[in-house]
Amino acid sequence: MRSDLGEWREPAALVETDTLESELASPDLRIVDCTTWLLPAEPGDDAPYRVVPGIAEYEAGHIPGAVFLDIQETISDPDTRLRFMAPSAERFASAMGRLGIGNGSRVVLYSNGSIMWATRVWWMLRSFGFDGASVLDGGFGKWQAEGRPVSIDQESYPPARFDARARAGFFVDRNHVLARLGDRSATMVNALAPEFFLGSGPSRYGRPGRIPGSVSVPAANLLDPSDGTFVSLDEARRAHEAVGVTRDRHVVAYCGGGISATVGLFLLHQLGYPDLTLYDASMGEWARDPELPIEKGPPGSTD
């Protein structure tokens, strides 16, 4: 049991494995496996990586009652070359309804591997007006490690009505980012690994480097490497404040494709940061456009 849940802005946004196991029979519960894998792109492919839905792992074993969500195929914009871009409200509502998620459902999101796929869907649900979702702390890896029940049944829920209403401010585009460059009231937070932030080697996204003026808070640093759970809120606060990410700032989070940045957004929301947004296209767009400025090397260097 986490000792800091009382400090969370919305404690119900996080569910622990023992709690979920005790509630598996709840009739309004909808459990969603969001697992996705990113593999190296095929030779000649213009995309930065191959997106592989985790359906094989789901079929091999999942939390009892869980349905599988293919993030790229069902809740991403099909009309752009960029991966994982937020879809229309209509497309999102249709996908949720087919999964059996309705306006009054209680949703638990989890993923195998990184928790970032679950936080991405959590962010998307909130962006479309749904606040009843929780993320399973530690995901399927922790669930399995603890010897909790696993099913191979093909699960489904009855179709439901999901009313999606896009909320302003959850996603921003390149123009918003450009307008904020040099703005002392805003902070761009890069969630990628340090080598991508520094631009010290080749980048799968395009030009190596980062958006000018960005600070680095790698998503991996916000997770406990021993079990994939979130670090404490105090650790998350210190990681952000150490690089100047304070509550009075307009925080624009980004990464490679709008996925890992949601780990930090999830924790910053729980810390009560009031002005958070996600540059959805992230470096998948920025690094490939030679007209957009880019920065490399340690912050403050001339590289």
Residue 5 has pLDDT above 90, yes or no: no
Residues 210, 183 contacting (CB under 8 angstroms): no
User: 205 or 87: which carries more pLDDT confidence?
Assistant: 87
Q: Please return the burial class of 152, using the count of CB atoms within 10 Å of its CB with bins 0-12, 13-18 and 19+.
A: exposed
Contact 110, 229 (CB under 8 A): no
Residue 211 CB neighbours (<10 A): 25
- For residue 187, what is the enclosing H or E element? strand 186-190
Looking at per-residue pLDDT, the higher value among 301 and 242 belongs to 242
Cα-trace Rg, the chain: 19
d(CA 239, CA 11): 21
Beta strands in the chain (DSSP E): 14-15, 29-33, 36-39, 50-53, 67-68, 106-110, 133-136, 171-172, 186-190, 215-216, 250-254, 276-279
CA 175 – CA 170 distance, rounded (Å)? 15
Structurally, at CATH architecture level, domain 5-145 sits in 3-Layer(aba) Sandwich (3.40)
Report the pLDDT averaged over residues 168-193. 97
pLDDT band at 145 (very low <50, low <70, confident <90, very high): very high
Element (H, E) at 284: helix 282-286
pLDDT band at 6 (very low <50, low <70, confident <90, very high): confident
The tokens for 284 are: 């998948």
Q: Do domains 5-145 and 171-286 have the same CATH topology?
A: yes
The predicted model gives 45-61 an average pLDDT of: 89
3-state percent helix, strand, coil for the chain, nearest multiple of 5: 30, 15, 50
Query: Please, what is the average pLDDT of the chain?
Result: 95
Tell me the HSE value of 170 on the side-chain side, using a 13 A CA sphere.
21
Fold of 171-286: Oxidized Rhodanese; domain 1 (3.40.250)
Cα distance between residue 89 and residue 240, in whole Å: 32
Strand order in the sheet with 29-33: 14-15, 133-136, 106-110, 29-33, 67-68
pLDDT value at residue 204:
86
Read off the pLDDT of residues 121-130 as tens digits, 9 standing for 90 and up. 999 999 999 9
Q: Express as a percent the part of the chain with pLDDT over 70.
A: 99
**SS3 label, residue 272:** coil
Residue spans per domain, the chain: 5-145, 171-286
Average pLDDT over residues 93-109: 97
In the DSSP assignment, the letter for residue 127 is: H
